[in-house]
Structure 1
Amino acid sequence: MTSRADKKPSTAKRMIWVILGTLALIAVIVGAKVLLVVRMIHSMPKPGPVTVSTVKAAEQDWQPSLNAVGSLRAANGADLATEVAGLVTDVHLKSGQDVKKGQLLVQLRDGDEVAQLQQLQANAQLAKLTLERARKQLAAQAISQADFDTAQADYKARLAAVAQQQVVIAKKQLHAPFDGRAGIITISPGDYLAAGTQVVTVQQLDPLFVDFNVPQGELARLKVGQAVRLHLDAWPDRTFSGRLSAINPKVDTSTRNVQVEATVPNHDKTLTPGMFAKLTVDVGQQRRQLTLPQAAIVYNPYGDTVYVVQPAKGKDEQGKPNAPTVKQAFVTTGDTRGDQVAILKGISAGTEVVTSGQMKLKNDATITVDNSVQPADSAQPTPQEQ
């Protein structure tokens, strides 16, 4: 006879049934949630086309160039100073005045030195008369050769004393060493100047030199006589032209750069030594090159890309033409020129690419083209005040 205990299900079986029931309940809940999410996704409106600007890649005349920055330097420039101490008696100069080589600029008091010079000149004149008399006496054998030699030596010594005193007087005058423009002068008659006191600067402004450095790897592209263009912040609307005039024969071992010098005409005295300049040196021959605005390039560590516009195909459910789409394409870029970049490989002339709005795009994204505003695409951009 079977007991009641034998008819009751075991504890293990009860646990299995509880677990199975719980799993079934979870499956029902998850299924319901997934169905709800799918319905919500289908009910969401599809994203509209992204508004972008585009441009067609085109070939342009391209002059290979090398960009650098440099400083202007006067062909001749000097900070003039007095060689001896003295009291200023005359200032023959105004600040900013153009001066000629040899022009007297500043006069120190030299009355004592001039008086002493006159005395030495009188002694030299007397020595000259004595020498002439001795020459006649020697011819008449009235004096010995030794006496004549003494008179001749005395005359030469007197002349040397005169020349020495003239040098002393010359040091009391400050002259322009070359043609140029004087700076600001602050001394006045009556000022006492110590030896070595800087009085004024004189700078030769035409032509000017511009010094800049280029990496040693660019040396093969540089030659004396190449055209150089300068752009300065002070004159954003002007371009100054010059010629490459010298290349330093030594490379700086600390930077591996080489110093280069260009000569720039400055007939109107617009440029000033010490100014900062941006330079473009024309290197190589002009050629045709496929270009794009730099804004069209998406720079990535794994490669530079552009978004190429794909023409619209077919119609949507309402019968309207579909919007155009984009495809990402890898490109190989070359030199840059202003706002432009050369495209060496990846696309061909006439390809329409996106120039703005790339951050919102991905492959096969739909777009709306609005070219009312275009990014900068100038070969020689001009800085604009903000």
Structure 2
Amino acid sequence: QLQVEVRQRDIEAAREAVRQAEAAVRMARASSIRDTISAADIKAADAAVAQAAANLQYARAAVANTYIYAPASGYVVRRNIRPGEMASPSFPILNLVDNREVKVLCALSEERRRLVSVGQDVTVTVDALPSRVFYGRVYNISAAAKPDSRSFEMEIRLPNPGQLLKSGMFARVKVTVQRQSNVVVIPYDAVVTAGQQKVVFVAEGSVARSRPVQLGLREVDKVAILQGLAPGEPVVIQGQNELKDGQKVSVERLRGDAS
């Protein structure tokens, strides 16, 4: 505060010097009409005005340098220098975070790299907000894989309404690489490998029947069935690995299953 007040007094002094120099020029010009002052004196007075104006400009710049302006809007999350300490252009005074738009960094395996491209839609969830889903897009994918993990760093950007997402949160990302509509979806564990075929067991009354199926897209613990299974057919999801075609079974409805 003291330094700012000193700089402000410097500005006032510079302004006064400009006024005095301008007055001297006017007097010199008026005197030259009466041939009582030389042209050199007038030139010297003009130079004094220019010097006083330069001093004023310097004083204004010095005062402006006592203020620090943030390059963007945001929140101060860390103060690195205390009042009275020496500042340096190479050392940040404050750390700012702008949470209006956030970026998520995640690893993309080399097997899935070909399935993902910049601009694809993604959904993001965080453990701290289990009931919220955030939507964004793939912003960038690194050109080279990391030598240690053989994975590519993928950057996702998404709007942050209400600024609920905070820096440092752990996030889960889902990228939509392909869609299949109007298909039957069952638990992946219900699928059994029989030789070269994928089959599921369907309960026909009290008898289990083996049904070859064609699998579609898989999402963690679920898989789409493209052929071999009709909507609403009861699928065996417990003990299927020990079943044989035609073996008797006991059918039990899962809780919440109204079909």
Q: TM-score, normalised by structure 2?
A: 0.69
Match of 1:324 among 195, 207, 210: 207
Q: CA deviation at 1:186?
A: 9.4
Deviations 1:128-159 (A, max 9, x none): 33344456567888643x66555444433333
Q: Which amino acid aligns with 2:7?
A: E
Among 152, 155, 159, the alignment partner of 1:264 is: 159
SS at match of 2:201: strand
Note the aligned Cα RMSD (angstroms).
4.1
Amino acid of the structure 2 residue aligned with 1:217: R
Question: Does the Cα contact within 8 Å between 2:80 and 2:92 map onto a contact in 1?
Answer: no
From 95, 99, 107, give the equivalent of 1:201: 95
Q: Secondary structure at the match of 1:183?
A: strand
Post-superposition offset of 1:194: 2.5
- Report the equivalent of 2:50: 156
Choose from 349, 355, 363 the match for 2:230: 349
Is 1:305 the equivalent of 2:201? no
Of 9, 13, 16, the residue aligned with 1:119 is 13
Residues 1:237 and 2:237 are matched in the alignment: no
Identity %: 21
Instruction: Give the SS at the match of 1:161.
Output: helix
Q: 1:293 corresponds to which residue?
A: 187
Aligned equivalents of 1:132 and 1:158: distance in 2? 15
Alignment of 1:278 with 2:161, yes or no, is: no
Task: Tell me if 1:217 matches 2:114.
Answer: yes
Aligned equivalent of 1:336: 218
Cα shift readout 1:23-72 (whole Å, capped 9, x = no counterpart): xxxxxxxxxxxxxxxxxxxxxxxxxxxxxxxxxxxxxxxxxxxxxxxxxx
1:358 maps to what in 2? 240
Q: Is the 8 A contact 1:241 1:265 kept in 2?
A: no
Larger radius of gyration: 1
| 2-structure distance, mates of 1:130, 1:304 | 104
Distance in structure 2 (CA, Å) of the matches to 1:358 and 1:139: 116
Read off the aligned partner of 2:190 and give its amino acid letter: A
Give the alignment of 1:1-386 within 5 angstroms. 109-134=3-28, 143-144=38-39, 148=42, 150-183=44-77, 191-196=83-88, 200-211=94-105, 216-219=113-116, 223=119, 227-242=121-136, 244=137, 246-247=139-140, 251-252=143-144, 254=146, 257=152, 259-266=154-161, 268-282=162-176, 287-298=181-192, 305-309=198-202, 311=204, 323-327=206-210, 331-337=213-219, 339-345=221-227, 347-350=228-231, 351-372=233-254
AA partner of residue 262 (structure 1): R
User: Between Structure 1 and Structure 2, how many residues are aligned?
Assistant: 247
Find the counterpart in structure 2 of residue 39 from structure 1.
none
* Higher strand content, 1 or 2: 1
Distance 1:261 1:128, change over 3 A: farther
Determine if contact 1:307/1:353 at 8 Å carries over to the other structure: yes
